[in-house]
Structure 1
Amino acid sequence: MLFPDYRPRRLRQTDAFRRMIRETQLGVDDLILPLFAKEGKDIKEPIPSMPGQFRFSVNKIVDEAKKAYESGIPAIMVFGLPDKKDPLGTRAYAKDGIVQKAVKEIKNKLPELALITDVCLCQYTDHGHCGVVEGHIIDNDATLDLLARTALSHVKAGADMVAPSDMMDGRVAEIRGILDDNNFSNIPIMSYAAKYCSAYYGPFREAADSAPQFGDRRTYQMDPANSREAIREAAMDAEEGADIIMVKPALPYLDIICRIRDEIDLPVAAYNVSGEYAMIKAAEKMGWVDGKKVMMETLTAIKRAGAEMILTYFALEAAEIINN
């Protein structure tokens, strides 16, 4: 159809028409709020590079989780900052680890809020890498058992879902196996399947104190130039037992979200990461953009690309706008 027979503007004339034909609807149910748990008491510590975000002690993280629950956000994801680190990240799978304590307390107070835990070692190792280090090599196979033990400890504490973010080959199968062997076959796995080695993670590494002490993570996180590899990664994780496939970061990889949505028959999540959040907040502070409008446009674009779930530090702000 061509002008003048077809006039697309006819359906843009009123707010009612625009709402009636809107193809993508962003809802509170699409959002997952990431939270940082830290050892101590009565701590609500600002994260300088992520304005409006904080590190919380266990008693304070419950209050923040309650805000999410009361906003209608269905789930949170918990990251931990341990009190001490070592080469094998033993506090990641300790029974009294920070994530384990936070999970127990949140589930005790808010049993209906879905609680997802990040499964990785980088916050817990003194070298800052996501796996066991031999020399300067990250040992993939030696790491798998530690990741599986971490996931199991989270589930025993009360986690409803685990999300391995390490990008070690074979970790989904290892985690699925240990959960099934311990009668947790009902616990789903959200796999960071296409996690790119991205410069957008900078603020998170400050927030979680997880920067590598040598080298970088290019030997296990994906090359930003690759697309077909993401499909192979997602397909492999699906075959190993993943229930949800995640793409991280979100905004620079909308094409990857779209491809995985089309080619992998599993729900798709996307992580609107710290750098994406920080850039909008910085531009808003300078008066260069309307922060709330850019936030909502960004989240809508991520959903339009095919993500059914969006992990975002904007979750509480976006929920307030949606609800009102």
Structure 2
Amino acid sequence: MTAFPVRRPRRLRQNAALRRLVAENDLAPRRLVLPVFVKEGIDAPQPISSMPGVSQHPLAGVADLVEQAAAAGIGGIMLFGVPETRDAVGSGATSPGGILNRAVAEAARAAAGRLTVQADLCLDEFTDHGHCGVLAADGSVDNDATLEIYARMALALADAGAGILGLSGMMDGQVAACRTALDAAGHTGVVLLAYSAKYASAFYGPFREAVESTLTGDRRTYQLDAANGREGVQEALIDIDEGADIVMVKPAGPYLDVLAEVAAVSSVPVWAYQVSGEYAMIEHAAAAGVIDRERAIGESLLGIRRAGAEAILTYWALEVAGWIRDGKDLA
């Protein structure tokens, strides 16, 4: 007599309806955040060549983007500014008339509480040398002098209406500096999203085009080393101690192990950023006909979710929200 298997895990995989019912992880539009690049001095969207389907947007288009995002039901938008002029100390970041602060004000008015308006708090888009902080006499990034500017930038963004500040500069003490400044000014409700485990990565390449980065060299002296996992967990715990409301791992796909470890120990929500290079790889591979685009997108996002991210910044946020709304299988 043939010995048939007693356990048959395949029973739970036999059709799409059953697979959906027993899925351990899923996605919802509310878990997705759309990064948006707002460029000063343009009057129409400008496509980013390395990121098919993604553009720099004019200030006048921000309200329409917010409407699209709200209609899609996504959790928020993360705004990045691309200024016309830059200087050594990133003056445009702290000026109320700077492109990012103006974009935040437009988005906050249009959102009217329907989704979160988030802003990138860093100097790299605003400095003529492209680093995330101001430089010391020897050319290194001056951590503590940068914190003073971050605190002023936090106040400017909060005054403009940002509800969540994405602290992405990887300066030691940035969470404490911004929290102290915000609370002293009465902005106690502004949420701090700490890019805690932000790695020095080749996967940021297309983003450099998106923000027209002027960086020469690299950011290895302040962003994390790709070889280190425990360090990412330590950074997250330090940021939580300093008052971070949410912690982030970035990039997402190459650092799923770090994401899982941070999620296992964090007392606050954990997010991940599916960065420009992750996006570009799938788009270009799909255009070459070597992968199924939609399945690859869905699988990549489910992998990030499975590793422990409670929300994901992704350039596919609007498209994927539509798939979810239509009941499409994501992988």
TM-score higher than 0.5 here?
A: yes
The CA deviation string for residues 115-145 of structure 1, in whole angstroms up to 9 with x for no partner, is 0000000010000000111232111111001
Q: Cα distance, 1:167 vs. partner?
A: 0.1
Give yes or no for contact 1:41–1:59 (8 Å, CA) kept in 2: no
Of the three residues 259, 262, 265, the one matched with 1:263 is 265
The CA deviation string for residues 18-47 of structure 1, in whole angstroms up to 9 with x for no partner, is 122110011111100000011125220000
2:191 counterpart SS class: coil
Q: Report percent identity of matched pairs.
A: 48
**RMSD (Å), alpha carbons:** 1.2
Q: Which amino acid aligns with 1:294?
A: A
Bigger mean CA deviation after superposition, 63-72 or 190-199: 63-72
Match of 1:124 in 2: 126
Give yes or no for contact 2:197–2:248 (8 Å, CA) kept in 1: yes
Match of 1:110 in 2: 111
Indicate whether 1:188 and 2:197 are aligned.
no
Indicate whether 1:301 and 2:303 are aligned.
yes
Match of 1:246 in 2: 248
How do 1:149-168 residues align onto structure 2 when only pairs under 5 Å count?
Answer: 149-168=152-171
Q: Cα distance, 1:210 vs. partner?
A: 2.0
**Separation in 2, partners of 1:43, 1:191:** 32
**Separation in 2, partners of 1:3, 1:303:** 36
1:269 counterpart SS class: strand
**Separation in 2, partners of 1:12, 1:77:** 37
CA distance change for structure 1 residues 13 and 167 in 2, over 3 Å: closer, same or farther? same
Q: Which segments of 5 or more consecutive residues in structure 2 lack a partner in the other structure? A: 327-331
**Separation in 2, partners of 1:85, 1:302:** 35
Give yes or no for contact 1:202–1:274 (8 Å, CA) kept in 2: yes
Q: Which segments of 5 or more consecutive residues in structure 1 lack a partner in the other structure? A: none
Q: Matched residue pairs, number?
A: 322
1:55 counterpart SS class: strand
TM-score by length of 2: 0.95
1:16 counterpart SS class: helix
Q: Which amino acid aligns with 1:196?
A: Y
The CA deviation string for residues 137-163 of structure 1, in whole angstroms up to 9 with x for no partner, is 111111001011111100100001101
Q: Cα distance, 1:193 vs. partner?
A: 0.2
CA distance change for structure 1 residues 3 and 264 in 2, over 3 Å: closer, same or farther? farther
Q: Which amino acid aligns with 1:162?
A: L
**Separation in 1, partners of 2:213, 2:310:** 28
**Separation in 2, partners of 1:55, 1:269:** 24
The CA deviation string for residues 77-108 of structure 1, in whole angstroms up to 9 with x for no partner, is 00001121000001011010101111111222
Q: Which amino acid aligns with 2:227?
A: A
Q: Which amino acid aligns with 2:211?
A: A
Q: Which amino acid aligns with 2:159?
A: K
The CA deviation string for residues 172-200 of structure 1, in whole angstroms up to 9 with x for no partner, is 00000000000011111000000000000
Q: Which amino acid aligns with 2:183?
A: D
TM-score by length of 1: 0.97
Give yes or no for contact 2:32–2:75 (8 Å, CA) kept in 1: yes
Q: Cα distance, 1:266 vs. partner?
A: 1.0
Give yes or no for contact 1:34–1:312 (8 Å, CA) kept in 2: yes
Give yes or no for contact 2:128–2:214 (8 Å, CA) kept in 1: no
1:189 counterpart SS class: strand
